């Protein structure tokens, strides 16, 4: 099993190209189920989760093909994938596939909307919290779906073969449920209004793609989304937006190590709250026509308190990375996690590097230390694993990160991008996993 070896202590300088967003690419791929025409997605990242979803969609009868490399193309550039769901051959998403990636549960919406039925396995638990599917089910029921739970499967039917638009009110913001209901409503009869919808950029990106496919959607990116259902959707070409979590992760790596890095092809607006937080910590962050420039000179890192919130608040997916940064701050900071339970599993591993962190429920108090010392550590989930990389970049000596398959789910060629900017980082112990 692969590991990542880091020798810390250096600064970062250069350019890091930002990949397409995994959290946008996955629902966009699932949207291919809504039309018999071809959907072309550009700037798709090369990740384990993308490859797994391709397999899952194939199970439903979706064909896909990848464009080859072009002359002079940087191999870090995103890939272009063409999806064709001309005929849905199976409306069941089995447990052995859904259990490997929770986002695959979202196929329930498009399958139900297009085929009038779906049988999708419950995704089960998760290392960072249960993340139940109640909101998905109640949202689809509001559109007229008849839903039963049968031996671990959600069995959904649309009376008369078609869903009917309605008002859907989520008691709590859910990105996945917003994606699912929005896709289902695109083929429903009449108007659907989603209240307390997720406002994340990935939701707006999905809406832009659906509109290009012929859907009528207003308000995506706000808490109220209106969808006028269509009898059918057609093919389209859509470019996946830049990955704001990858952007924030590399920004924090520069903040941790010092240096000067251009994060190329991304946008400040995608994560303004997180970048403003970095500024409060003493980091120079500026928007440029080419992307975002992040610099930190020899000045120390200032402690900052943060609370994770739905967009446009501080992202839960950057909480672990920010905790690694605060472990080297010149004082005490408090990090409050409000989105997921059990999302502090990286604390014990950061402590192995010398971080001083005290947990009290969903609040972590971080006492900054003068130095971290390299050690063997183990990744517990995607975001936790990259927090260990950030800490290792600043730690004295060697850090070995195990279970890096978590990283391959969400970060495209991470070690290569960092090494281009001067980091001493390499993958060891086996062949690359992409």
Contact 3, 401 (CB under 8 A): yes
| Angle, helices 175-185/108-115, rounded to nearest 10 degrees | 10
Residue 174 in marked binding region: yes
CB-side exposure of 431: number of CA atoms within 13 Å? 1
What is the 3-state composition of the chain as percent helix, strand, coil, each rounded to the nearest 5?
A: 35, 30, 35
CB-neighbour burial class of residue 195 (10 A; exposed 0-12, middle 13-18, buried 19+): exposed
Radius of gyration of the chain from its Cα atoms, rounded to whole angstroms: 22
Active site residue 126: yes
Parallel, antiparallel or unpaired: strands 376-378 and 363-367: unpaired
Residue 169 in marked binding region: no
Q: Which of 51, 66, 89, 126 is catalytic?
A: 126
CA dist., res. 56 & res. 104, Å (int): 7
- Rounded to the nearest 10°, the torsion over CA 264, 269, 275, 280 is 140
Residue 196 in marked binding region: no
Report which of 379, 262, 371, 275 is spatially closest to residue 320, judged by C-alpha positions: 379
CA dist., res. 11 & res. 294, Å (int): 12
SS3 306: strand
Report which of 401, 353, 395 is spatially closest to residue 380, judged by C-alpha positions: 401
Helix (H) or strand (E) holding 39: strand 38-44
Residue 254 in marked binding region: no
Q: How many helices (H) and strands (E) does the chain have?
A: 14, 24
- Give the N- to C-terminal CA distance of the chain in Å, as an integer: 13
Nearest 5 degrees, angle CA 277-CA 388-CA 101? 90
Residue 389 in marked binding region: no
Residue 299 in marked binding region: no
Residue 102 in marked binding region: yes
Residue 173 in marked binding region: yes
Number of residues in the chain: 434
Neighbouring CB atoms inside 10 A of 148's CB total: 10
Residue 3 in marked binding region: no
- Rounded to the nearest 10°, the torsion over CA 222, 47, 429, 253 is -30
CB-neighbour burial class of residue 212 (10 A; exposed 0-12, middle 13-18, buried 19+): middle
Query: What residues form the annotated binding site for phosphoenolpyruvate?
Result: 22-23
Annotated binding site for UDP-N-acetyl-alpha-D-glucosamine: 102, 172-175, 317, 339
Task: List binding-site positions.
Answer: 22-23, 102, 172-175, 317, 339
Q: What residues are annotated to the active site?
A: 126
């Amino acid at each position: 099993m692969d590991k990542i070896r880091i020798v810390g202590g250096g600064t970062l300088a250069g350019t890091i190209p930002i990949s397409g967003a995994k959290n946008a690419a996955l629902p966009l791929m699932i949207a291919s189920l809504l039309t018999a025409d071809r959907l072309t997605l550009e700037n798709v990242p090369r990740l384990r989760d993308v490859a797994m979803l391709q397999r899952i969609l194939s199970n439903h009868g979706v064909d896909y093909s990848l464009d080859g490399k072009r002359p002079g193309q940087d191999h870090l550039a995103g890939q272009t994938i063409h999806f064709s769901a001309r005929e849905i051959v199976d409306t069941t998403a089995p447990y052995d596939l859904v259990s490997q990636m929770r986002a695959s549960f979202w196929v329930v919406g498009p399958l139900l909307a297009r085929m009038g039925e779906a049988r999708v396995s419950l995704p089960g638990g998760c290392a960072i919290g249960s993340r139940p599917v109640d909101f998905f089910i109640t949202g689809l029921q509001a559109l007229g779906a008849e839903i039963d739970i049968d031996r671990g499967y959600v069995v959904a039917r649309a009376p008369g073969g078609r869903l009917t638009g309605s008002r859907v009110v989520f008691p709590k913001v859910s990105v996945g449920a917003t994606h699912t209901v929005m896709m289902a409503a695109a083929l429903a009869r009449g108007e659907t209004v989603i209240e307390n919808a997720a406002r994340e950029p990935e939701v707006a990106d999905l809406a832009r793609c659906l509109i290009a496919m012929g859907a009528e959607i207003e308000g995506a990116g706000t808490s109220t989304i209106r969808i006028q259902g269509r009898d059918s959707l057609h093919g389209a070409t859509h470019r996946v937006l830049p990955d704001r979590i990858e952007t924030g992760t590399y920004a924090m790596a520069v903040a941790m190590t010092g240096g000067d890095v251009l994060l190329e092809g991304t946008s400040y607006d995608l994560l303004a709250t997180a970048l403003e937080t970095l500024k409060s910590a003493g980091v120079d962050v500026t928007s440029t026509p080419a992307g975002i420039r992040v610099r930190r000179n020899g000045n120390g890192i200032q402690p900052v308190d943060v609370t994770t919130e739905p967009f446009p608040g501080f992202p839960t997916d950057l909480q672990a990375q920010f905790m690694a940064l605060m472990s080297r701050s010149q004082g005490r900071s408090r990090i409050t996690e409000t989105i997921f339970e059990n999302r502090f599993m990286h604390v014990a591993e950061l402590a192995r590097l010398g971080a001083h962190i005290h947990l009290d429920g969903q609040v972590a108090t971080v006492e900054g230390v003068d130095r971290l010392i390299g050690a063997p550590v183990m990744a517990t989930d995607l975001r936790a694993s990259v927090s260990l990389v950030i800490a290792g970049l600043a730690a004295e000596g060697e850090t070995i990160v195990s279970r890096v398959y978590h990283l391959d789910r969400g970060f495209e060629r991470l070690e290569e991008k960092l090494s281009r900017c001067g980091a001493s980082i390499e993958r060891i112990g086996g062949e690359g996993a992409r």
